[in-house]
Amino acid sequence: MPNRLAQETSPYLQQHADNPVDWRPWGEEALKLAREQDKPILLSVGYSACHWCHVMAHESFEDAAVAAEMNRLYINIKVDREERPDLDQIYQTAHQMLTRRNGGWPLTMFLMPDGTPFFGGTYFPKTPRYNMPGFLDLLPRIEHAYRAQRGEIAKQSASLLAALAQTAPVAGGAGEFERAPLIAALQEFAQMFDRTHGGIGHAPKFPHPYELSFCLRRHVVDGDAAHARTGLEIAHTTLTRMAEGGIYDHLGGGFARYSVDETWTIPHFEKMLYDNGPLLALYSDAWQVTQAPRYQAVCEETAAWVMREMQSNEGGYYSSFDADSEHVEGKFYVWTPDAVKALLTPEEYAVVAPHYGLDSAANFEHEYWHLRVASPLPGGGETQLARARAKLLAARNQRIWPGRDDKILTSWNALMIKGMARAARVFDQPAWLASARRALDFIRQTQWRDGRLLATYKDGRAHLNAYLDDYAFLLDALLELMQCEFRADDLAFAQALAERLLEQFEDDEQGGFFFTSHDHEKLIHRNKPGFDNATPSGNGIAAFALQRLGHLIGETRYIVAAERALRLFHAALQRQPSAFVSLLGALEEALSPPRVVILRGEVRALHEWQRRLAARYRPDTIVIALPGEPANLPPVLAKPVPATGVNAWVCQGVSCLPPLADLDACERLLQEPS
């Protein structure tokens, strides 16, 4: 019989519904049972695209003997880290404190009935190997410690809770904001930069879209300074090597989670929505700066993949694709030369084989080939390559697909909405904008209830109290969408999100924003994250987006809240600026507010102005085109409509220049430093 996970919305939890383990979802029912039975809690945290989560499930959670021990000794709780990032953040931090090692997934934590952890690890094999204890042996030993060492565990728990409390940033006597952390962060990235293969850091290599976007912005905003040229080198080299490497899907579009090697050749094959949204925006920006044809192709192919494979019929974007198919990592994606040769004409194969490295040694598991650009395409080979890719993709689509996590997360959808909208604006692609709008409208219709956001949706059910990231990322996405095509409803939604963000997440005493709302379930710790991780910092994006909305509509409360968050993290920005690029973006615009360009006029002429202004990368500029007479505009946006043509008001901070009626003059003005 299925266990209690069968009715959950998370595909990851549903994957464990038929385990012999008596799994329970996180909730008061499970916690109460642990207290009543005086049993420790075995907490397992993972996600559906996690390879080692599947390995541990097959080895242990599907094994009757292991399950019997788990059921006898523990209250067993399974958590999807994507639906409950609040729990994942707490217990990942606790794991690092207990073990002095980095965490990861699966996360395996042993808790007291009150939720305080006393032992933990990540993946455990069923029997001892890899210099690791066997899970089956570990289960009774941990339970015995729980019974026999209560006093020691109580002392450790008190110390752990105190240490968790000390991780919270504390507002200090910050002086005036300054640009020094911006320059210092770029210097830190330059020290970590792999000039040969691209990338920030060494293998395993992650895309780092926010860090690369920061580097690209330094190049444009800081002009001819030496560090600005370094920013372009870091971004351009890395984006080029990634687009050529196996981390990019050369047949279907989109990027895998990370590369296991320094040359970007072999990825961990899972594809995550939260990587591809920001990368789509970044490659669009990089194309504006470099005009590199490969960057445009990446955007076109990735946007096509998103609409083809990641967007539901209802409009929302799915979460991820698994790394495994048929229980084998990468099987869906790899080839042999003979298999490729059988699908192509001799002329097509003669182009494809050297271009994708099929004429070299196998690069995956010593017997398969994963496609990457190994040599430049010969002149005139574009047609043959396009035909070959279409044939290979059609054949690959006949294979058994990796699992797709089809839950719809508000925060990750926001990241993709922004990416699709940015790319649509840069390349003037109405279909991409329509995709982003469908996703936003879906979120607004299903996840926005009674003035509150919900975090996740699947199979007609939206639930879970939303987190800081949901509000901040969605507000940021709305600011991007309004630059593509203004809708009064979007502005009203943005203001509603901002108000709820301040009301439910801001720390009125210290400044900054908690990850969970004021009325959220009480947990052992309440986090206030400032550093960027696989997704950007909620505090950084909240501060950035609130500032921009504040300047756009003239609402100083939003700007003040952003400034208070920056002051809270001021000391951290000075100590390790490269870990806080989202907050650095907010810092930069606190020092020099973004230019706001308000366009009024006839619809067709407005579109031409928008198209021309969007052709150049201006990260410090917001362009809003207001056709007709939208209702309820704030005074700062309610500029008069000219009798003919278009008028542009260029504003910065609290000052606006006289309106411009000449597009060339407006472009010249915007090319000047702000």
- Whether 51 has a pLDDT exceeding 70, the answer reads yes
Q: Are 139 and 70 in contact (CB under 8 A)?
A: yes
Q: How far apart are CA 218 and CA 212, in angstroms?
A: 10
Flag the least confident range among 37-46, 413-422, 631-640: 631-640
Q: How many CA atoms lie within 13 A of 73 on its CB side?
A: 22
Q: How many CA atoms lie within 13 A of 115 on its CB side?
A: 17
Distances (CA, A) of 59 to 64, 129, 134, 668: 10, 13, 11, 64
The pLDDT assigned to 2 comes to 87
Whole-number percent of the chain with pLDDT over 90: 94
- Whether 174 has a pLDDT exceeding 70, the answer reads no
Question: Sign (positive/negative) of CA torsion 109, 111, 116, 117?
Answer: negative
Cβ–Cβ contacts within 10 Å for residue 32, how many? 12
Q: Which residues lie closer than 8 Å to 150 by C-beta, 6 or more apart?
A: none
User: Over the stretch 554-568, which tens digit does the pLDDT of each residue have?
Assistant: 999 999 999 999 999
Confidence category of residue 550, pLDDT binned at 50, 70, 90: very high
DSSP letter for each residue of 74-120 = -EEEEEETTT-HHHHHHHHHHHHHHHSS---SSEEEEE-TTS-EEEE
Whole-number percent of the chain with pLDDT over 70: 99
- Whether 95 has a pLDDT exceeding 90, the answer reads yes
Give burial (CB, 10 Å; 0-12/13-18/19+) of 627. middle
Q: Which CATH architecture has domain 180-323+405-591?
A: Alpha/alpha barrel (1.50)
The pLDDT assigned to 173 comes to 61
- Pairing, β 404-405 against β 324-325: unpaired
- Whether 175 has a pLDDT exceeding 80, the answer reads no
User: Cis omega before residue 658 (within 30°)?
Assistant: no
Q: Which residues lie closer than 8 Å to 201 by C-beta, 6 or more apart?
A: 192, 194, 208
The pLDDT assigned to 502 comes to 98
Listed by start position, the domains of the chain span: 11-166, 180-323+405-591, 333-398, 595-671
Per-chain mean pLDDT for the chain = 96
Confidence category of residue 226, pLDDT binned at 50, 70, 90: confident
Q: H-type helices in 428-537, by residue range?
A: 430-446, 468-484, 488-505
Q: Cα 251 to chain center, whole Å?
A: 23
One of 3.30.9.90, 3.40.50.740, 3.40.30.10, 1.10.3720.10 is the CATH number of 11-166, namely: 3.40.30.10
For 119-127, what is the mean pLDDT?
96
Question: Among 297, 299, 267, 306, which residue's Cα sits nearest to residue 386?
Answer: 297
The pLDDT assigned to 108 comes to 98
Give burial (CB, 10 Å; 0-12/13-18/19+) of 108. buried
User: Over the stretch 131-157, which tens digit does the pLDDT of each residue have?
Assistant: 889 999 999 999 999 999 999 999 999
Confidence category of residue 99, pLDDT binned at 50, 70, 90: very high
Confidence category of residue 629, pLDDT binned at 50, 70, 90: confident
The helix (run of H) or strand (run of E) holding residue 617 is: none
- Whether 225 has a pLDDT exceeding 80, the answer reads no
Confidence category of residue 295, pLDDT binned at 50, 70, 90: very high
Confidence category of residue 170, pLDDT binned at 50, 70, 90: confident
